[in-house]
Amino acid sequence: MLTPASRVTKPDPADLLTWYDRHRRDLPWRAKPGEAVDPYRVWLSEIMLQQTTVVAVRPFYQRFLEKFPTVSALAEAPVDAVMQAWAGLGYYSRARNLHACAKAVVEKHGGLFPGTEAELLKLPGVGAYTAAAVAAIAFNQPAAAVDGNVERVVSRLFMVEDPLPKAKPLIRTLTQDLVPADRPGDFAQALMDLGATICTPRRPACALCPWMTPCRARAEGLQETFPRKIKKEAGQLRRGAAFVVLRADDSILLRTRPPQGLLGGMAEAPTSIWEPDYEPSRAVLDAPLDARWQRLPGVVRHVFTHFPLELTILFAKVPKGTPAPEDMRWTLRRDLHEEALPGVMKKVIAHALGELPAPAKEAPVKKRAAPRKGSSSS
Ligand code: SF4
């Protein structure tokens, strides 16, 4: 549903492109004017940027590209190496899909990304947004790439009254109507830049906006009330216990999560199940081995997309030569950086032992143990 446009004109894509030519962001994955666009870099950056910020992605992108400079290099790499390079970015199913997608591009398309939205959509892990973004930016196709930034800009421009997510199809149609035949790739990036730098969620800088005149929300002084949203129920808090075991040779007990599900394929200190009514006082019953367990003061808190988690930490020291339980392994503390530890597990180990040591130099990827049976994930 749109608010009637009585006093405003249609936004002109040319105004946005003129603004973009002056104010475009200099991003490591973005081709400079006149430079050839590398579809691999565009695709990689778009996958990395989902649900996170440019600032967070920059260092990961650079490191990732050094390790896997081409789609073929990525396809040939062991999946463990990809997971390790991804560790810290979150949303680990994306790293597995990234690898699967690289293999598909090499095996089915001879190492060249397909150039149409429809073909890109068939690749693993490539959804509607990514397909449109890659088609537009890498292949200059007139595709409408609609992410959260674009939803905000367009819902304000046209005062889309329907709340998200119901408004998504309408916003997509409105965006598609704006895409020019000339420079659709620059237009997609210009719209992203406008949303990221000018049409921000709070206090949009409307006075600097190339579409200030046709913007309906600005005309009504209602910018910050768009896009309309339905209030989300916060996920229910889950609790659990994590077990940090330090062997006398300075190694830590770890296991690998099953490939599917939350943090799939990542390394972790053994944990209990995570559930709302988990009782920490009984945590020792879930311990992976017999030891003198010490419950550490405080808890580790972490917020996943769908729920917050609170982990009680139990710590134990065991003698040298203690064998690892089935499907678990010992990793020397100095080698922990080689493990694909997600953020929550870095917090757990840091809570028990202090910060993880930084890698001394580039190290080979550690062979991963087989996935354990019986997930403790939610
Ligand atoms: S005028 Fe303001 S609210 Fe409208 S698109 Fe521009 S920055 Fe966003």
Under the banding of pLDDT at 50, 70 and 90, the label for residue 365 is very low
Regarding the beta carbon of 329 and ligand 1, being less than 6 Å apart is answered no
Could you tell which of 157, 200, 224 is best to mutate to test the pocket of ligand 1, judged by most ligand atoms within 8 Å of the CB? 157
Express each pLDDT in 260-283 by its tens digit. Answer: 788 988 999 999 989 888 888 888
CA of 206 to the centre of ligand 1 (A): 5
Express each pLDDT in 8-42 by its tens digit. Answer: 578 999 999 999 999 999 999 999 888 999 999 99
Express each pLDDT in 155-195 by its tens digit. Answer: 999 999 999 889 999 999 999 999 999 999 999 999 999 99
CA of 291 to the centre of ligand 1 (A): 61
Residue 369 has pLDDT above 50, yes or no: no
Name the residue at shortest CA distance from atom 3 of ligand 1.
Answer: 223
Domain with CATH 1.10.340.30 in the chain: 13-225
CA distance 136 to 187: 8
CA of 34 to the centre of ligand 1 (A): 29
Regarding the beta carbon of 204 and ligand 1, being less than 6 Å apart is answered yes
Regarding the beta carbon of 212 and ligand 1, being less than 6 Å apart is answered yes
CA of 215 to the centre of ligand 1 (A): 6
**pLDDT at site 357:** 59
**pLDDT at site 9:** 79
Question: Catalytic residue at 220?
Answer: no
> If you classify domain 13-225 with CATH, what class do you get?
mainly alpha
Output the 3-class SS for the chain.
CECCCCCCCCCCHHHHHHHHHHHCCCCCCCCCCCCCCCHHHHHHHHHHHCCCCHHHHHHHHHHHHHHCCCHHHHHHCCHHHHHHHHCCCCCCHHHHHHHHHHHHHHHHHCCCCCCCHHHHHCCCCCCHHHHHHHHHHHHCCCCCCCCHHHHHHHHHHHCECCCECCCHHHHHHHHHHHCCCCCHHHHHHHHHHHHHHCCCCCCCCHHHCCCCCCCHHHHHCCHHHCCCECCCCCCCCEEEEEEEEEECCCEEEEEECCCCCCCCCCEECCECCCECCCCHHHHHHHCCCCCCCEEEEEEEEEECCCCEEEEEEEEEEECCCCCCCCCEEEEEHHHHHHCCCCHHHHHHHHHHHCCCCCCCCCCCCCCCCCCCCCCCCC
Q: In one letter, which amino acid is 4? A: P
Name the residue at shortest CA distance from atom 1 of ligand 1.
Answer: 212
Question: From the alpha carbon of 204, which atom of ligand 1 is closest?
Answer: 7
According to CATH, the topology of domain 238-353 is Nucleoside Triphosphate Pyrophosphohydrolase (3.90.79)
Regarding the beta carbon of 243 and ligand 1, being less than 6 Å apart is answered no
CA of 219 to the centre of ligand 1 (A): 9
Q: Which of 46, 117, 268, 338 is catalytic?
A: 46
**Count of C-beta atoms within a 10 Å radius of residue 22:** 7
Could you tell which of 12, 160, 193, 212 is best to mutate to test the pocket of ligand 1, judged by most ligand atoms within 8 Å of the CB? 212
Between 317 and 5, residue with greater pLDDT: 317
Express each pLDDT in 50-80 by its tens digit. Answer: 867 888 889 889 999 999 999 999 999 998 8
With a CB cutoff of 8 Å and minimum separation 6, the contacts of 377 are 257, 258, 261, 262, 263, 274
Q: Check residue 321 and give left, alpha or beta (phi > 0: left; psi -120 to 50: alpha).
A: left
Express each pLDDT in 204-222 by its tens digit. Answer: 999 999 999 999 999 999 9
Domain with CATH 3.90.79.10 in the chain: 238-353
Residue 359 has pLDDT above 70, yes or no: no
**pLDDT at site 88:** 76
Token pair of 367 as six digits: 């062979």
Between 186 and 84, residue with greater pLDDT: 186
Beta strands 328-332 and 308-318 are: unpaired
